[in-house]
Amino acid sequence: MSVGPIPKVIHYCWFGGKEMSEEAKSYIDEWREICPDYKFMKWDETNFDVNKYKYTQEAYENEKWAFVSDVCRLEKLHEYGGIYVDVNTRVLKKFDPLLSNSMFIGFEQDGVIAPSVFGARKGHRIIKTLLDRYKSESLFSERGDINLTTINNRLQPILIEAGMRPDNSLQKLADIVVYPKSYFQPRYWNSARQDEITKNTYTIHYFGASWLDDKQRDWIKYISSDRAPKVSIIVPIYNVEAYLEECVDSILSQYYQNIEVILVVDAATDNSGVIADRYGRQDDRIKVLHKPSNEGLNMARASGLSLSTGEFVTFIDSDDRVEPGYVEELLRAQVATGADITMCGYTHYDSTLRSPLLIQPFTIYPELESPKVYSQNQIIKAYLLQGDHWKHNNVITTTYCKLFSRKILVKLDWKKSNYTVGEDDFETIYTFAHVRKAAVINSRLYRYRANPNSLSNSKSFSPKYNGKTVSVFNICKDFTKKALDLYGDRYEEEVYYRSYVLYKYYIVQLIKKGSLTMRDVAIFDREFPMKHVKLLSGKWVDKGELELIESKGLAVSLVERLWRENDSQTLRVEDMKLRLADLNEELRSVREELDSHLTVKRSIRLLAGNIKRLIRRPRG
């Protein structure tokens, strides 16, 4: 990066070959009057090679001139340094006081940056980082449609990584200064809203959205108007001081701005409550609730719901983060479809939220329309038949990744799903019981963190239901009963299949933690009605695995499977061999014990029957 001040050069772009509008010409004339000692550099097809990048070539061919400009402005700022200004921008005063910065930019909405006006020295690292990313980009998404992600959305996460807080405050970082909205973008997207022009205002950007069609412009007007519904974002918090700021910052960076944020501090013992209170003081959209005692994730969500006022509600775990378009895209699908619940996909990341561990269980399928609308019958079956039986996979088992209509959530009795593990499955069966229709969008907008310190990852963690310790076998039995009560015999096969999948998942987790309870497994092997699972709508389901379970029992068959797969993250092969032998011996012992108990019970029942018959025998 060059040293010295930002040069007195103003860059602007005009692509498409048409004559510049009279309005744009008048704005540029004003620039020249206010900044007479600046050099003005216009960039268009004659002096910028639109074929240099695949992205700009595709954008130009599809007449997305603004996207060509996004790359051009970066290249020229990196090459020359200076200030970029959109042509639909009025300049009110000289930029001289800003030239001592290495780079400057301002906010557009309350937490979103605005590259309609920004400046930098030649070769600045932030400009280079984004320009390099464009070099490998295509205009088209994985689905084959045009990716409408703007330069704002691409630059925002880079600045956050550099230390920027998305809170519309003046921030002086190492080599960047970020200014409040009033400096360069006092005007809201909807021109009917009040401008925030102050003595600090340098420019006014008149939002044009030339890359959008009429339908998309109508959407922008809608979400910027007073008709836009409020969305409540509820964040349960327990001992996540290392991750909480990243989570809340991602929420405050949402493109959709009519939100309220409910931070529910569930009797945390670390500094999570202090961090939550700080955010509450900084942003009047944030409410902080401190619970006197810890009741778990499920009841923390319920407490947040009781404090919320939004027409729509979404839940975000406090150690995760969401993409900037999370709320807007879910809401857009709701408005388009009238769905009671809209859902998106997620990506499972490591503890840094930088390296994806698992793109599944949600994958983008080009052949599926988005949003895809499902009736109640379809969404219930899609949920119960997880895995290979439905392409959208596990996205719908979670409480996060969903935008709920408030009228659905207020019907729930949260204590019925108040488990410390598997609560999402119970919440799902209850919410789906009230849904008329649901919609799924083909985008991964949620980043799930593999938190090594979470309760579910603790080897000493014991599942509880409303404060009482329970086994995973009891959880699955309760799930089966409640789901059958809700959905009836019509879904009996599907409910039993889902119960089998849940129990199999819990057993694998216990095997990995080395805390498998063989008594539960033996009871499962004896009591679970496998006949309900084998044949589903006349077809075999998981035939090979189910036959193995029937012949050897669930725990042993799963350990053998993990052994075959040589899962290095679970157990070493040598440990597997020892564990398998131990499990077989322990399971044999437990089964003998259960058999003896059953024999005693059978004898008592026979004795009681004989006594009853003697009592009832007529005296002769």
Write down the pLDDT at residue 558. 58
The one-character DSSP state at 419 is B
How many domains is the chain partitioned into structurally? 3
Lowest mean pLDDT among 166-175, 211-220, 509-518, 602-611: 602-611
* Range ranked top by mean pLDDT from 195-209, 377-391, 401-415, 572-586: 401-415
Kindly report, residue by residue over 270-285, the tens digit of the pLDDT. Answer: 999 999 999 999 899 9
Same domain, 294 and 181: no
**Looking at residue 86, which CATH number applies to its domain?**
3.90.550.20
Cβ–Cβ under 8 Å, residues 533 and 510 = no
Cβ–Cβ under 8 Å, residues 308 and 260 = yes
Joined together, the tokens standing for residue 349 give 């990341």
Same domain, 381 and 417: yes
Q: At residue 227, does pLDDT exceed 50?
A: yes
Q: What is the mean pLDDT of residues 85-103?
A: 95
Which is higher by pLDDT, 223 or 576? 223
Q: What is the mean pLDDT of residues 532-548?
A: 53
Nearest to 89 by CA among 12, 190, 3: 12
Cβ–Cβ under 8 Å, residues 360 and 286 = no
Angstrom CA distances, 525 to 136, 205, 443, 511, 551, stand at 53, 68, 39, 16, 10
Binned at pLDDT 50, 70 and 90, residue 497 comes out as: confident
Write down the pLDDT at residue 170. 93
Same domain, 87 and 47: yes
Joined together, the tokens standing for residue 82 give 């200076």
Q: Which of 457, 488, 514 is the last residue of a domain?
A: 457
Same domain, 524 and 481: yes
Cis peptide before 361 (omega within 30 of 0): yes
Q: What is the mean pLDDT of residues 479-504?
A: 86
The residues, any chain, with a CB within 8 Å of residue 99's CB and separated by 6 or more, are 5, 6, 7, 8, 119
Lowest mean pLDDT among 80-84, 404-408, 610-614: 610-614
Secondary structure (H, E, C), 127-196:
HHHHHHHHHCCCCECCCCCECCCCHHHHHHHHHHHCCCCCCCCCEECCCCEEECHHHHCCCCCCCCCCCC
Write down the pLDDT at residue 511. 62
What 3-state DSSP class applies to 264? strand
Angstrom CA distances, 303 to 69, 100, 399, 400, stand at 47, 49, 15, 16
Same domain, 426 and 371: yes
Residue 607 is assigned to a structural domain of this protein: no
Q: At residue 388, does pLDDT exceed 50?
A: no
Residue 107 is assigned to a structural domain of this protein: yes
Write down the pLDDT at residue 56. 96
Q: At residue 523, does pLDDT exceed 80?
A: no
Write down the pLDDT at residue 167. 81
Q: What is the mean pLDDT of residues 35-56?
A: 96
Range of the domain at 497: 474-542
Residue 487 is assigned to a structural domain of this protein: yes
Same domain, 82 and 148: yes
Residue 596 is assigned to a structural domain of this protein: no
Q: In terms of DSSP bridges, do strands 341-349 and 437-449 run parallel, antiparallel, or are they unpaired?
A: parallel
Q: Is the dihedral angle over the CA atoms 9, 10, 16, 19 positive or is it negative? A: negative
Cis peptide before 236 (omega within 30 of 0): no
